[in-house]
Amino acid sequence: VSASSPLLLFVAAFTRLSADGQPVLGNSFTFPQNCKNDEEGKLLRAEPHGEVDVAVHQRGVWTPARGYRGRIFRNSSILFSRIFYNDSGFYLLRCDSRKMRIQVTVLVPFNVTVKEGEKASLPCYFSTADNKCVSARWEMNQQVVFEWNSCKDEDNGTADGRLSGDFSLNLPHARKEHRGYYFCYKQNEDGEKERDPSVVRLEVKKRSYPGFFFFFLIAGYLPLLKMLNVSGDVFN
């Protein structure tokens, strides 16, 4: 799957990396459900030995339980300052007489680091053997970056993914504004997401040049360097 830079959609505003109880490891996370301001509430975690208190809701504010102090802020929402891998599991949210069961799945990102101008390949693989039609959807900041459907887009150069299961996203020329988290989803024939997404964290570093090249440039030796056939990105 390939995407050129102009096709990418980016949102400048900060977005918490959570979707339907799927936070990214190490980031902040706000629970998707909440109690109303006038409700008494409690969030509990299901453990093998029973339920464990996580936070209590009173007068519109959540207060962390003892084991979560320093990790959950006193806030109108249930906000984790930093999510751990062991935070995956089932939670019970009680708001007066209402009860909600929430599953949290912590996603571990695959890290990709490139320099500006280099090609960035963001990996995503899933099985397509049992699907007549399969759709791959890449998102960043909850915006669609690229989407491909095997039954509709057979001639767009990505049909090999239908056979190989490789739906990696390729950015030909990475730029600093491309940095961030990318989510790859497998969708069924009805466009419903079938599994947890693959997550890729892209870091784009500034391209650096050896200091002595700049010394020669400033000193006026560029013609001499070209005569000596010295190669380097500085001449590109």
Binned average pLDDT, 10 residues per bin, the chain of 236 residues: 41 34 93 94 94 96 94 94 95 94 94 96 86 83 87 55 81 94 88 87 86 55 57 43
Answer yes or no: same fold for 5-13+108-205 and 29-104: yes
Q: What is the pTM of this model?
A: 0.72
Q: For the chain, what are the domain ranges? A: 5-13+108-205, 29-104, 212-236
* CATH number for the domain formed by residue range(s) 5-13+108-205: 2.60.40.10
- Are 167 and 194 contacting, i.e. CB atoms less than 8 angstroms apart? no
* 29-104 placed in CATH 3.90.420.10: no
